[in-house]
Structure 1
Amino acid sequence: MTFDALGSNYSFRFALRFLTAKASTADERRLKALLAKEYGGRVWLYYRGRAALAEAVRAAGARSVLTSSFSCYVVEQAIVAGGARPVFADISRRSFNPSLRHLKAAHKANPDLDAVILQNVFGIAAKVKPLVDYCRRHKLLIIEDLAHCPANRYADGAAFGSVGDLVVLSFGRDKQIDAVSGGALIARNPELAEKADAPVPTAEYRYQRLTDRLYPLLSVWLRFCYRWRLAAQAWHRLLESLKLLPLSSGGPLMAGVALPAARCGFVLEQFRDIRLDISRRRNLSGIYDGLLPAGKSATAGQSLLRYPLVLASGRIKQTLLKHLKRRRFSLRQNWYDSLVYPPRFEDASVYRPGSCPERERLTPKIVNLPLHRGMDEAKVKRLAAAAAPYVGLRFKTKFTPESWRAVRREFDPAGFNMLTSWEQAETYKALGHKVWRLVAYKEDRPITLVVASLIAAKRARFLKVSGNPVFGDLDAAQQGAVMERLKEIARRHKCAFIRLQPCLDDTADNRRFIRRLGFRPAPANLGAPNTMKVDLDRPAEEILGSKHYKSTRNNISKARRSGIRIVEDGSPAGMERFLKLLDLTQTAQDFVANSSDFIKAQFAAYSKAGKARLYLALAPEGAEAGEEALAGALVIDDDFEAAYLYGASTFEGQRAKAVYLLQWQIMLDAKERGLKLYDLWGVAPPGNDKHRFARLTKFKSNFGGERCDWLGAHDLILNKFLYLPVYLLEMYETKRRRL
C-alpha cells in the first residue's frame, strides 16, 4: 500500500536514527548559520512551525493579518496566538494562491490590515512581484510562509525567502524538510528582529516529545503491516486512540518552545540535499503533467510538495479516491478539501462560508497526489495511469425529454435501442422503481450513456442496466471510471449485483472488454440478446421481393383474400383485448412475458409521446368469430426505428395467416412514418435449434431482416453471499425454460 502521508518520507534506517539521536549543539549552530546565509536574517528555531509563525505575527505587531483561504487551520491558529485577527483572501484557480486582485479586494474590505502572509501552496511558484509592490506601497509587512517549499524561485525570478520581512519554515511531518516537527523564524528586517523573542528549551510536553520520537518507527512499521489490511487498520485505530499517531494539525501550539538540538542534524542534512530533492520532485511532477494533461494548472516544470489535481466534481473525486484505494493507493490526508482543514476545526475557525467563492468551488474537487520520498517513477506512473480516466471526466444526471433525445443522437444509433429512451425510464418510474439517467463526458465529449433502474426483487436487490450502457469508445480504463460510478450507486442502495446487457456485437474483443470492467456472464438475460432488423429505407416491393420470401408474400395475400382486418386500437378496451390474447398465448406456448401492469405502464408512457401503437388482427366481417382478435402486436417507435415488443395470436390466427398480414401492415405503417428499421425483437441464438425461440425465429426470418447478435447479460458481483443463490436459481430456470 502506498500512502500520501503516514511517515512516507521515512525509511526504517531513518526511524532508528531518529529514535536514538542525541542532542548536538554543533548541529544547531551549523543549521542556524546555513539558514542565516540562505535567507539573510537572524534565525530562531522552534519546536513547531506554527509557533514560529505565531511569533512572526507577534513581532510584526499586526492587528489583522491576511492569509490565503486555501490553507490549514494552524495558520489561523498561529495568527490568533500572535495577537492578530485573521483575514482570508480568495485564490486563483490556476495558482491556488491569492492574486493581486484578491489582495486588493481583501485590503479594501479590511483597511486595518497590517501584514500579509505569502504562501506557496503545494510549492507552486506564482508571480510575486505585483503582490510585493502593492504591499510596499501600502506599508504592509510581508511574512513569507515557506512551509511547503523552502527553496525555489517565484515565476518572476525572485528566490523563495527573499521578499519577506519575516520568513517562516516548517519541518513538520510530510513537509519537504521533515523532522517530524519543528520550524524556523528568520527576521530579515532588523527592526523586527529586535522585537522577536527567542524560544527556550523546556522539559514540558514530555508525552508529545515521546510520540514524536516514536512516530517514524511506528509509521514505518504500520505501513509494512498494511500487507495485512484488516490487522493494520485495527492497529492504526488503536495507535490513533492512544495519540501515538497524531492527527493532522493536531497537538498543542507549543509557543516559545525551542527545537530540540537532536533534530537539528536531520534538518541540516535534508537542507544540504535539497537541490537533489527539488530535481527529483520536478522530474516526478513532470510525469504527472505528461500523463494527466487536463489536470495541470500552474504545475509545469515545478518542484512540488504535492501534485494538485482538480476534477470536475466532488462526486468524481470520491469515486477516484475509492478506486485508488482498490489499486493500493491510500490518499487519506487530502489537504484543503474542506472549508476549514482539517474539518474537525470548523467550529473553532472564524472563516465565514461564502466569503471566498473561488476557493469554495475548488475545495470539493481537489485531490493531492503524493511526491514524498517514498515515490519513484514507477509508482508515479502507476498512480497517474489509475487516475487519468477520471481527469476531465464529468457526469450529467439532469435532463429534459428534449435534452435526453439530443444527447442520445450524439452516439452511434447502432449501439442502442428503445430501452434507453426517455419513455422506458418513465415506465420504471411509474411502477415505483428508482431510475438514473446518466451521461459521462470526457472533456465535453460524451463517452457513455446509462439508464439504470433499481430492482428490489425477492431474491436480491440489483441494478438493472438493460440495452445499455451505450459506449462512445471501448477504452476499458476510461469506461472503468464510469463503472465505478455505477458501483457507487449500487452499493448505496445495498444491491447484490449490477446486471447490464449492452448492444455490443457478440465478439471476442467485446467479451474481453466487458470482463476487464469486472463483469462475468449472467445466468439469465435481461431480454433476448439476438434479434432481426428489417431495413425499411427502401421501396416496399424490395423488402419481400426476393424469391426467398415467396411463401411470405403468399401468406399475406391469403390473409387479405380471407378478409382479415388490421386495425389500430390503443383504447383501454383494445389493451384489455390484447392482454387477454397475450395471456392465452403464454399459456399455450408456455412462456412468460412482462406483467400486465408493466405493459400498461409502458404503453401509457410511450403513448404520451405518440410513440406506441397497438395493432389487432380481426376476423373477417360477418364471420362466425365476429370481432374476435386473432392476433395482436404492441409496437414502439424510437427515433429511427420501430420495435415489435409484444406479440400474441390464437391458433385460428396462425392458420388464417393473420400474423403475416399483421407484421406486413406494421412495417408499411412504420415506413410511412419515416422510420428506417423495424426491430423484430428476439430470436434464438445462431445454431441453437432447441432454444425456446427456435420456431419464432423461423417465423421472423420470413420478413427480410438481418441478424443482430449482441452480448448477453453480464453481472458485476457486489455481495457474493447474496448473489450465489440468485445465480444457482437462475441457472436452473434458464435451462428448464430452454433460454
Structure 2
Amino acid sequence: MTNATLPQPAPPSATNGWSAWDAFLVSVSETGFMQSSWWADFRVEAGYGNFGVVLRNRGAILGGAVVLTYEYAPGHCFYYIPEGPVLPAGERAASEVFATVLGFRAVPGFKDCFMESRDTLCIDLRPPEPAILAQMKPKGRYNIGVARRHGVVVIEDNSRRGLASFLRIYQATARRQGLEPKPRAYFEGLTRKLAALGQGTVFFAEHRGRRIAAAVVVYLGSRATYFFGGSLAASRELMAPYLLHFEIMMRAKAMGCEWYDLWGVAPPGEPDHAWQNISVFKRKFGGVEVRLVPTLDLVYDRVAYDRYGTCG
C-alpha cells in the first residue's frame, strides 16, 4: 500500500500507542468495544496475551487490529481478532487492505464456530423518542407501558451490592435457559474495569425495591452495547425487561450514543436456534438486523490446525 492511494484523516489527539488507538476507535462507528485496549487487558485474566497492529499514513492511524493470543497447548497458539480488523474508512484504501487478507478462509470444520455473535440487532437512537417508539413492534411499545403502570423503575448500580444483585438475576436466567453461566470472577473484573474507565455500567429494573431485571451495558464512541443480562421469571407479568432496555436506550441517547446494539439474535429463518426465545424479545424493539462477516481462519500449521479439531 502506498501513501498516494491512502486518504488523509485527522490524526488522533493522543500520541502514545494504546491511547492513540483507543482515540481512533471512538471515531469508527462500525467496530465494537472488543477492539479496545481495555478489553485486551481484561482478557489477560483469562490467559490471553495481546499485541496491536496499526495502519498509518503520515503518522495518522487509518486502521488496524487488537490481536489476542492464546496458547492452547505447549508450543501451540492461535491469534484471534474479535470484532476486527478495523479497516480504513475510505473505500479505496479499505479495498487494498481487504485484498491482503483474501488468503483467510472459512474452513468447513469450523464454519459454525463463532466466539462472538454473528447476527445482531441495532436500534437507531438518532431519531426523537416518539420516532424510536413508533418503529418498535406494537407489543414492545405496549409492554413498556405495562411496566410503567406497574411502577417499575430503572436505576444504575456499580457497587458490590449491584454486582451481587446482577449475579443473582443473571445466574437464574442462565439456569432457566440451560446455559453455562460465566463465573463470578469474570463479572467482578468486567464491572470493576468498566466503572473505573467510565465505559459501562450495570442497570436494574426495580419493582417496590426488588431488583427483577438487569443489564451490563458497554459504551464505545457512538455505540452502546447490551452485553449481559437477565430477568426473574417470577416477575414476568411486570414486563420489566422492556422498560429496562428502553430506558437504557434513552440514557445512551442523552449521552450522545447513536446506536444501541442488542448483541446477538438468532439468524432469520432458524426457528430452532438456541437464541430464538430471546430473539423474539429483542425484535420487539424494532431496529436494523446486521449480519457480520463469518469467522475466517488463516492456517499457519496445517497439522496443528487439524489436531486442534472442530470447535467444542
In the superposition, the TM-score normalised over structure 1's length comes to 0.37
Displacement of 1:561 in angstroms is 1.6
Q: Which amino acid aligns with 1:519?
A: R
Indicate which of 36, 48, 53 corresponds to 1:438: 53
Residue 674 of structure 1 is matched in structure 2 by: 256
Indicate which of 694, 706, 721 corresponds to 2:288: 706
Residue 129 of structure 2 is matched in structure 1 by: 540
Contact 2:104-2:296 within 8 A present in 1 as well = no
Matches within 5 A, 1:221-236: none
Q: 1:720 to 1:550 in 2, by over 3 A?
A: same
Q: Which amino acid aligns with 1:616?
A: F
Higher RCO by CA contacts (8 Å cutoff, separation 6 or greater): 2
Q: Structure 2 CA distance, aligned partners of 1:608 and 1:689?
A: 40
Work out whether 1:565 is the aligned partner of 2:153.
yes
Residue 399 of structure 1 is matched in structure 2 by: 17
Indicate which of 571, 580, 596 corresponds to 2:168: 580
Matches within 5 A, 1:91-170: none
Indicate which of 95, 103, 106 corresponds to 1:520: 106
Aligned residues: 295
CA shift digits 1:667-695 (9 cap, x unpaired): 11111112111111101122222211122
Higher strand share: 2
Work out whether 1:718 is the aligned partner of 2:304.
no
Residue ranges of structure 2 left out of the alignment (5+ in a row): 4-14
Indicate which of 601, 604, 610 corresponds to 2:192: 604
Contact 1:534-1:704 within 8 A present in 2 as well = yes
Indicate which of 427, 430, 450 corresponds to 2:65: 450
3-state DSSP class of the match of 2:192? helix
Residue 205 of structure 2 is matched in structure 1 by: 617
Work out whether 1:631 is the aligned partner of 2:223.
no
Matches within 5 A, 1:312-323: none
Seq. identity, %? 24
Matches within 5 A, 1:688-703: 688-703=270-285
Q: Structure 2 CA distance, aligned partners of 1:542 and 1:601?
A: 37
Q: Which amino acid aligns with 1:428?
A: R
3-state DSSP class of the match of 1:551? helix
Higher helix share: 1
Indicate which of 652, 655, 665 corresponds to 2:234: 652
Q: Structure 2 CA distance, aligned partners of 1:477 and 1:471?
A: 7
Q: Which amino acid aligns with 1:518?
A: F
Q: Structure 2 CA distance, aligned partners of 1:536 and 1:293?
A: 38
Displacement of 1:445 in angstroms is 5.8
Displacement of 1:617 in angstroms is 1.8
3-state DSSP class of the match of 1:717? coil
Displacement of 1:542 in angstroms is 0.9
Contact 1:423-1:602 within 8 A present in 2 as well = no
3-state DSSP class of the match of 1:714? coil
Matches within 5 A, 1:465-480: 465-472=81-88, 473-475=93-95, 480=100
Q: CA RMSD in A?
A: 2.8
Contact 2:87-2:97 within 8 A present in 1 as well = no
Q: 1:675 to 1:431 in 2, by over 3 A?
A: same
Q: Which amino acid aligns with 2:306?
A: L
Displacement of 1:540 in angstroms is 0.7
3-state DSSP class of the match of 1:675? coil
Q: Structure 2 CA distance, aligned partners of 1:413 and 1:649?
A: 29
CA shift digits 1:678-728 (9 cap, x unpaired): 111101122222211122211111112111111121222222233224333
Q: 1:478 to 1:674 in 2, by over 3 A?
A: closer
Contact 2:37-2:66 within 8 A present in 1 as well = no
Q: 1:449 to 1:593 in 2, by over 3 A?
A: farther
Q: 1:588 to 1:448 in 2, by over 3 A?
A: same
Indicate which of 109, 118, 126 corresponds to 1:529: 118
If you compute each CA radius of gyration, which structure gives the higher value, 1 or 2? 1
CA shift digits 1:19-56 (9 cap, x unpaired): xxxxxxxxxxxxxxxxxxxxxxxxxxxxxxxxxxxxxx
Displacement of 1:528 in angstroms is 0.4
Contact 1:533-1:680 within 8 A present in 2 as well = yes
Q: Which amino acid aligns with 1:564?
A: V
Residue 419 of structure 1 is matched in structure 2 by: 34
Q: 1:479 to 1:442 in 2, by over 3 A?
A: farther
Q: 1:474 to 1:594 in 2, by over 3 A?
A: farther
Q: Structure 1 CA distance, aligned partners of 2:284 and 2:252?
A: 18
Matches within 5 A, 1:255-266: none
Q: 1:400 to 1:644 in 2, by over 3 A?
A: same
Q: 1:461 to 1:551 in 2, by over 3 A?
A: same
Contact 1:431-1:601 within 8 A present in 2 as well = no
3-state DSSP class of the match of 2:116? coil
Matches within 5 A, 1:25-44: none
Residue ranges of structure 1 left out of the alignment (5+ in a row): 1-291, 295-396, 481-513, 622-626, 734-739
CA shift digits 1:193-245 (9 cap, x unpaired): xxxxxxxxxxxxxxxxxxxxxxxxxxxxxxxxxxxxxxxxxxxxxxxxxxxxx
Contact 1:448-1:479 within 8 A present in 2 as well = no
